[in-house]
A and B are shown apart, each in its own frame.
Chain A
Amino acid sequence: MRLAILLVLSVRILMAQPAAQPPAQTDTEFFEKRIRPVLSERCLGCHGQVAPRANLRVSSRASLLQGGDSGPAIVPGKPDESRLYQAIAYRDNNLRMPPTGKLPDDVIADFRQWIAMGAPDPRGETPSAPVVKGIDWEQARRFWAFQPLRPVSQSIDAILKPQGKPVPANVWLRRVTLDLTGLPPTPEALAAFLLHPDKAAAIDRLLASPQYGERWARHWLDLVRFAETNGHEFDNEKNDAWRYRDYVIRALNDDLPYDRFVREHVAGDLLPNPRLSADGAYLESPLATTSYWFGEILNSATDSVKSRADQVDNQIDVFSKTFLGLTLACARCHDHKFDPLPTADYYALAGVMHSTRVREAVIDSPRRQAEIAQVLSQYPARPASTRPKLQLREGEELFTGFDAWRGEGQGIRVSEGVADTSGPGSLAATGSLTSPKFRMPRFYVHVLLQGPKYEKPKLGEGDLRLTLVADDYKSSHFFPTGAPGFTWKTERMTLSKDRTCYFELVDRSRTGYLAVAAIVISDHRDPPAILENAAVSPFTPNPDLEARLPFSTFAMISQDEDPANVRLHIRGSHLNLGPEIPRGFPQILRRETGPVSAGSGRLQFADYLTSDARPLLARVMVNRIWMHHFGRGLVRSTDNFGRMGDAPANEVLLDTLARRFIDSGWSLKKLHRDILLSEAYAKTVPIRRLEGEAIRDAMLQLSGRLDSTLYGPSVVPYISKYQDGRGKPPSGPLDGNGRRSIYIQVRRNFLTPMFLAFDYPLPISTIGTRGSSAVPSQALMLLNNEFVLEQARLWARRTIAEGRGPDTLVRSMYLEAFSRVPTSDEQAAALGYLQQHGDNEESRADLAHVLFNTAEFSYVQ
């Protein structure tokens, strides 16, 4: 069970060896004159007795033999096998000592000679026993977060005994409406509630509104560093990221049990009983696994192994914090300094992540597949394609085997080694074909392809292409040119050579096809000669059938690939590998889940989270919900339930909520209802500032511009002249077409300034608690930003169009914005302004603008 730990331990213990016999006199002299001074001056500063770097001491022969994190420093008699010599010789670019500069050549030669002599060293001191700070698991399990849930059955109010007066009904309704939907209550909703102040009914109505899912999906997206582009230099798009956003909205609106939601995130592509979309067209569950892939992607990683290790690190960080409030990523380089999370636990989970890849998948349901197959079966049979004959040269090879690639959708056809995307001859047929991963060996890729001319769109990667993906970056595209027959297209692998690559053949276009007859990876700039060209059977489009062909659904989801354990990275370095660690999950919570027996281990990870780790999984989530309703969590450090996090302000309450959450079948809506119906919620909620998204959405609601359409591809953000840099997209509309903020595309390098000004979380890792800063840029934005001014004007126009006279104007605007009537002072001030400047659109826009700027607009009481 604790095999990994034992392995690490035994490796360390084996390193300790007894000290050798005292050396002869001349040998000692050599050491004293040539070696000891150098060790003292250049090495002991970092590798002395106290807190030595890399746990390596050079203060005695025994210490050198014992070595540090990376093993023995010297192998007596064998300088070339001695890390000490390798390091000072500067042979390896990653192992160079002293780090501040190379020793003189004659000194290096001395060390070589000394080690060859057997490393005589009279220093008598024995090494201190290796300090292995073992984890006392019994002790560790006593920490509150790792304890079982306590048996409790009190209500929230019985535990908290809230004092004071409940807030007035209108304040309560504004609070609960903003909390649940992110929009202020309409005056109609307010009037209805004041007439029948039934809180339970109001909560049920809000929970049933689709705006609830939109609001709470955004909270969830903060946890999974949701982004729709890769960031880095060119900020390319992540295809279909929006489908994940919609998945979350639907899951919340459907009140999908949270444990199921978690299982789908971890292994939605592997679950035996995937859920279907509402229209039955595609599988819903796999969409959750897009969550692995929202990280930043380097466009030209120089080290594939490190790049992938960094990606896995981010996945571990996000998954361990989001679900368990554990900072497992802290154990990448060393055992966690505060929590019972040994490095082996990190690499056990890293093995799971390393055995998982992303793919451009088709997620059609069985029914949809049959519908597509039915239409495609009406096409006449196509004759086989013809394989090309090529004159390959020295220094090039055919990249073969489409049969071994993974095909998705029904448009992919492989015949005589020629792949095409038109299925039985339909332009509307779609699909994808993905190669296994390989290391790009040469500088040129020649592709023999055919298809109607296709040009890459300004945004996105395009939907008819053969793409070379290097370290998950879509680095080279081969688009069909429209030339008759098969012709060569060549790309230089400038940034991709030696990197971990795969090809993907993608056709998502209803009007085109792409056929590939050969991929030649070559040292030659020019493609090889064609002795006999390939051919695919010509076909005539059939507009009638093509119009009837049902659509496929594409998504970027996870899949298992080459499941394997990884070796421990000593001090986090992929260049310094320790023992192999079996795939598995943090031991501190392990109860029933056994070792990973097959596949990546994501299915077992799902079991582990929802079964072994159930109490913590529930605690972390109920705390997040509490935080959003009360402004702060019962555990204030929402993403860290470890020792460095905060202790729960009320452990009984936390466990009560967690237990009820589990008992309710992990129903988030029931949890909301529990919390919101409490006296505590009516009495003790502090003032909170709204997020930038909610401020923007409220403006849209008041202006009447709000388009409440649900779901779909994101709206490209508006790009002002103050935003610049590589990967700048063509600007989207100033008002985002009136769509709610959650539908504004999250472009890593072009995040929306208005959201950023109000502490939008950067999509880097899990951020469960947003900041709430007060900075002048917020004031400048609300005062001068053209979007804000435009919405103020639209609101003014709406008041005129609705025929509101000056007598009711101020009152009606206050009701819309703040769910209350103005005080007499406020009424007088507002009317005074209108009287002074005339009651016209201009002045009303000024008033609307000023109302947007009041503190009351951005805060919830």
Chain B
Amino acid sequence: MSSRRQFLARTANGFGALAALSLNALSAKGATRAPHYPAKAKSVIFLFMDGGPSQMDSFDPKPRLKKDQGRKLPFQPPTTVFNISDKILGSPFTFQQYGQSGTPVSELFPHVATCVDDMTIIRSMVADHSEHTAANYFIHSGSGFQGRPSMGAWVNYGLGSVCENLPGFIVLESGLIPPGGMDCFGAGFLPATYQGTLFRRGTTPVADLEPPAAERAKQREKLQLLSKLNAGIVQRFAASSEVEATIQNYELAFRMQTEVPDLLDFSKETEATKQMYGLGDKLTDDFGRECLLARRLVERGVRFVELLTPARSGFDRWDQHSNLEDGHRINAQSVDKPIAGLLKDLKARGLLDETLVIWGGEFGRTPCAQMGDAGFNKSVGRDHNPYGFTMWLAGGGTKPGLVYGATDEYGYFAVENKVHMHDLHATILHLLGLDHKRLTYRYSGRDMRLTDVAGNVVTDILA
């Protein structure tokens, strides 16, 4: 890792004038802001299960569905996106109890299941939107519309960054951007500096991070020339702080160029670690890399890391309107071992206490079989269901080994200890030491919040 001192030494000649100028700005850039109250969690890793994994096939067993398979629901379900599901579908997966807590987990997640005693499973999540894009905006920003600040942006706005060389909100992907696109990770009306930076796979993960090969060799000299040509400008522009900040950004930009290759270099990780994350295995390598990179980012002080579901040919995302069994199996296999590896690795390094891990999708799925005109067969799937679904948290001051809330016996509606998405957002901020009602930004004549005008901290799940 390159420190500022090393940087100054490297560039003492020529670029030094620029460097000397920048000391103040750098400490400002890396500055943290005091939380509203003391908190354990310093960082968040959000495992975003794009598409909406099924609760009754993962963490919320519903034996009634098996019994009533093929029958119609005894109540009129709400309008769904595809609106063609009314026959009950039992889970094709078996559940088993795990850990001291005896928490049931389906066969989809045998590795994550071994971590249940570190997890808080919320079976009573509720969201407001039935289709992907609005739901994606909603889980990220607390609003179903495009262009509002994402959680990661709010957290960085609230706490500042402890990392000088990397953005505070980083999104990792493996070939799939969720519906709604980059606006899921935007800064909205917050200053642009808080927006999520997408790290793509490969050695140059960020656009314009590195100069083209031909430019690389001479960049130092060009920066030295730049420094000389900028020298008179600050004076000419009457010492505008904004102009100074613009000039100083070249230093941060330069440091990012050197930091990122170091970040991506896994050569110092042990074989055991790589194995634990599932690196090298065809199915788990993508998400394993994301998980390992997430740990390395959190170690470097990045506030908010979001991991996106990897592309899986034929079964993209958790959105199994058809082929639920095969699709959920392959999506689960892709993330199960890496997630368990991440949880165990964070715990072993003492990082789990200060890292809040969040798992979940934009909504859950219906208890009914979606089958269109083909009728009831193995290729059926499930439709979207924001009225009751499962997310889980681990670390960061959550109560371990807890199952919280419940859906009805069909798994359709949350009926006990409902946790609305606004409540979850309030709780996430609380775990980071932020009061969701005080974390505001004036926009459009209003003091805007991640939680809009709602949200209650779910105190029952705090450790």
A residues lining the B interface (CB < 8 Å) = 90, 93, 99-102, 231-233, 235, 296, 298-303, 310, 317, 321, 327, 329-330, 338, 443, 494-495, 497-498, 525, 637, 639-640, 642, 644-645, 686-687, 689, 720-727, 748-750, 753, 756-757, 759, 762-765, 771-781, 783-786, 789, 823, 825-826, 829-830, 833, 837, 846-847, 849-851, 853-856, 858-859, 861
10 A-B pairs with the lowest CB-CB distances in the bound complex, closest first: A722-B207, A764-B147, A725-B177, A779-B253, A725-B181, A774-B245, A829-B228, A762-B147, A749-B181, A327-B445
Q: A720-B207, A726-B181, A855-B230 are in contact. Are A296 and B145 (CB under 8 A)?
A: yes
Interface centre among B80, B131, B148, by most chain A C-beta atoms within 10 angstroms, is: B131
Is B444 within 8 A of A639, CB to CB? yes
Across the interface, B417 reaches (CB within 8 A) one of A101, A778, A859, namely A101
How long is the Cα–Cα vector from A689 to B192 in the complex, in angstroms? 15
5 example contacts (A-B, Cβ-Cβ < 8 A) are as follows A101-B406, A689-B242, A762-B146, A829-B228, A850-B229
Annotate B208-227 by CB proximity to A: 1 below 8 A, 0 otherwise: 11111001001101100110
Across the interface, B229 reaches (CB within 8 A) one of A495, A759, A830, namely A830
Give the number of residue pairs across the A-B interface with Cβ within 8 Å: 225
Is B246 within 8 A of A774, CB to CB? yes
How long is the Cα–Cα vector from A789 to B212 in the complex, in angstroms? 9
Question: What residues of B have a CB within 8 angstroms of the CB of A753 in the complex?
Answer: 207-208
Is A302 within 8 A of B207, CB to CB? no
Is A756 within 8 A of B192, CB to CB? yes
- Residues of chain B from 375 to 410 with CB closer than 8 A to chain A in the complex: 387, 405-406
Is B84 within 8 A of A494, CB to CB? yes
Is A853 within 8 A of B414, CB to CB? no
Is A99 within 8 A of B418, CB to CB? yes
Q: A764-B146, A823-B232, A851-B229 are in contact. Are A784 and B210 (CB under 8 A)?
A: yes
Is A233 within 8 A of B180, CB to CB? yes
- Closest CB in chain B relative to A555 CB, distance in Å: 25
Given contacts A753-B207, A861-B237, 14 further A-B contacts (CB under 8 A): A298-B131, A299-B133, A302-B79, A327-B446, A494-B82, A644-B445, A721-B200, A725-B178, A757-B192, A780-B257, A826-B232, A853-B226, A855-B230, A855-B243
Q: A101-B415, A296-B145 are in contact. Are A330 and B445 (CB under 8 A)?
A: yes
Is A825 within 8 A of B242, CB to CB? no
Is A846 within 8 A of B218, CB to CB? yes
How long is the Cα–Cα vector from A693 to B120 in the complex, in angstroms? 48
Residues of chain B at interface, number, CB under 8 A: 84
Question: What residues of A have a CB within 8 angstroms of the CB of B445 in the complex?
Answer: 327, 330, 338, 637, 640, 642, 644-645
Is B83 within 8 A of A497, CB to CB? yes
Is B83 within 8 A of A498, CB to CB? yes
Is A829 within 8 A of B208, CB to CB? no
Question: What residues of A have a CB within 8 angstroms of the CB of B341 in the complex?
Answer: none
Across the interface, A854 reaches (CB within 8 A) one of B193, B229, B420, namely B229
How long is the Cα–Cα vector from A776 to B167 in the complex, in angstroms? 9
Is A232 within 8 A of B242, CB to CB? no
- Closest CB in chain B relative to A105 CB, distance in Å: 11
Across the interface, B249 reaches (CB within 8 A) one of A310, A775, A823, namely A775
How long is the Cα–Cα vector from A794 to B435 in the complex, in angstroms? 53
Does B134 sit within 8 A of A, measured CB to CB?
A: yes
- Closest CB in chain A relative to B226 CB, distance in Å: 5
Question: What residues of A have a CB within 8 angstroms of the CB of B221 in the complex?
Answer: 833, 837
- Closest CB in chain A relative to B112 CB, distance in Å: 27
How long is the Cα–Cα vector from A748 to B178 in the complex, in angstroms? 15
- Closest CB in chain B relative to A815 CB, distance in Å: 15
Across the interface, B192 reaches (CB within 8 A) one of A302, A775, A784, namely A775
- Closest CB in chain A relative to B421 CB, distance in Å: 13
B residues lining the A interface (CB < 8 Å) = 78-84, 124, 130-134, 145-148, 173, 177-183, 186, 188, 191-193, 197-198, 200, 206-212, 215, 218-219, 221-222, 225-226, 228-234, 236-238, 240, 242-243, 245-250, 252-253, 256-257, 373, 387, 405-406, 413-418, 420, 444-446
How long is the Cα–Cα vector from A722 to B236 in the complex, in angstroms? 37
Is A722 within 8 A of B200, CB to CB? yes
Question: What residues of B have a CB within 8 angstroms of the CB of A774 in the complex?
Answer: 242, 245-246, 248-249
Question: What residues of B have a CB within 8 angstroms of the CB of A303 in the complex?
Answer: 79
Is A762 within 8 A of B188, CB to CB? yes
- Closest CB in chain B relative to A326 CB, distance in Å: 9
Across the interface, B145 reaches (CB within 8 A) one of A764, A776, A777, A781, namely A764
Question: What residues of B have a CB within 8 angstroms of the CB of A851 in the complex?
Answer: 229
Question: What residues of B have a CB within 8 angstroms of the CB of A317 in the complex?
Answer: 444
How long is the Cα–Cα vector from A721 to B206 in the complex, in angstroms? 10
Is B222 within 8 A of A829, CB to CB? no
Q: A785-B208, A850-B222, A856-B233 are in contact. Are A93 and B243 (CB under 8 A)?
A: no
Question: What residues of B have a CB within 8 angstroms of the CB of A859 in the complex?
Answer: 237, 240, 243, 246
Q: A687-B238, A687-B243 are in contact. Are A776 and B415 (CB under 8 A)?
A: no
- Closest CB in chain A relative to B250 CB, distance in Å: 5
Question: What residues of B have a CB within 8 angstroms of the CB of A780 in the complex?
Answer: 206, 208-209, 253, 256-257
How long is the Cα–Cα vector from A720 to B209 in the complex, in angstroms? 13
Question: What residues of B have a CB within 8 angstroms of the CB of A757 in the complex?
Answer: 192
Question: What residues of B have a CB within 8 angstroms of the CB of A823 in the complex?
Answer: 232
How long is the Cα–Cα vector from A861 to B233 in the complex, in angstroms? 10
Is A762 within 8 A of B186, CB to CB? yes
How long is the Cα–Cα vector from A449 to B193 in the complex, in angstroms? 54
How long is the Cα–Cα vector from A90 to B416 in the complex, in angstroms? 13
Is A784 within 8 A of B246, CB to CB? no
Is B256 within 8 A of A93, CB to CB? no
Question: What residues of A have a CB within 8 angstroms of the CB of B145 in the complex?
Answer: 296, 310, 764
Q: A102-B415, A725-B182 are in contact. Are A833 and B147 (CB under 8 A)?
A: no
How long is the Cα–Cα vector from A319 to B246 in the complex, in angstroms? 35
- Closest CB in chain A relative to B144 CB, distance in Å: 8
Question: What residues of A have a CB within 8 angstroms of the CB of B414 in the complex?
Answer: 101
- Closest CB in chain B relative to A703 CB, distance in Å: 17
Across the interface, B211 reaches (CB within 8 A) one of A495, A639, A748, A784, namely A784
Question: What residues of A have a CB within 8 angstroms of the CB of B148 in the complex?
Answer: 764
Q: A233-B179, A327-B445, A776-B249 are in contact. Are A298 and B133 (CB under 8 A)?
A: yes
Q: A687-B242, A762-B188 are in contact. Are A300 and B444 (CB under 8 A)?
A: no
Is B252 within 8 A of A776, CB to CB? yes
Q: A776-B252, A856-B233 are in contact. Are A300 and B81 (CB under 8 A)?
A: yes
How long is the Cα–Cα vector from A99 to B415 in the complex, in angstroms? 8
- Closest CB in chain B relative to A779 CB, distance in Å: 4
Is B177 within 8 A of A100, CB to CB? no
- Closest CB in chain B relative to A585 CB, distance in Å: 19
Is A854 within 8 A of B242, CB to CB? no
Interface centre among A749, A778, A783, A786, by most chain B C-beta atoms within 10 angstroms, is: A783
Q: A774-B242, A784-B211, A829-B228 are in contact. Are A302 and B130 (CB under 8 A)?
A: yes
Q: A233-B132, A644-B446, A783-B250 are in contact. Are A849 and B222 (CB under 8 A)?
A: yes
Question: What residues of A have a CB within 8 angstroms of the CB of B210 in the complex?
Answer: 784
How long is the Cα–Cα vector from A777 to B187 in the complex, in angstroms? 14
Is A771 within 8 A of B230, CB to CB? no
How long is the Cα–Cα vector from A725 to B198 in the complex, in angstroms? 12
Is A232 within 8 A of B180, CB to CB? yes
Question: What residues of A have a CB within 8 angstroms of the CB of B387 in the complex?
Answer: 93
Q: Quick one: closest B residue to A329, CB to CB?
A: B444
Interface centre among A302, A338, A829, by most chain B C-beta atoms within 10 angstroms, is: A302
Question: What residues of B have a CB within 8 angstroms of the CB of A855 in the complex?
Answer: 230, 233-234, 237, 243, 246-247
Question: What residues of A have a CB within 8 angstroms of the CB of B373 in the complex?
Answer: 525
How long is the Cα–Cα vector from A590 to B242 in the complex, in angstroms? 43
Q: Quick one: closest B residue to A750, CB to CB?
A: B181
Is A724 within 8 A of B177, CB to CB? yes
Is B191 within 8 A of A773, CB to CB? yes
Is A779 within 8 A of B134, CB to CB? no
Is A749 within 8 A of B253, CB to CB? no
Interface centre among B124, B179, B206, B445, by most chain A C-beta atoms within 10 angstroms, is: B445
Q: A100-B417, A762-B186, A825-B228 are in contact. Are A861 and B236 (CB under 8 A)?
A: yes
Question: What residues of B have a CB within 8 angstroms of the CB of A837 in the complex?
Answer: 218, 221
How long is the Cα–Cα vector from A830 to B183 in the complex, in angstroms? 42
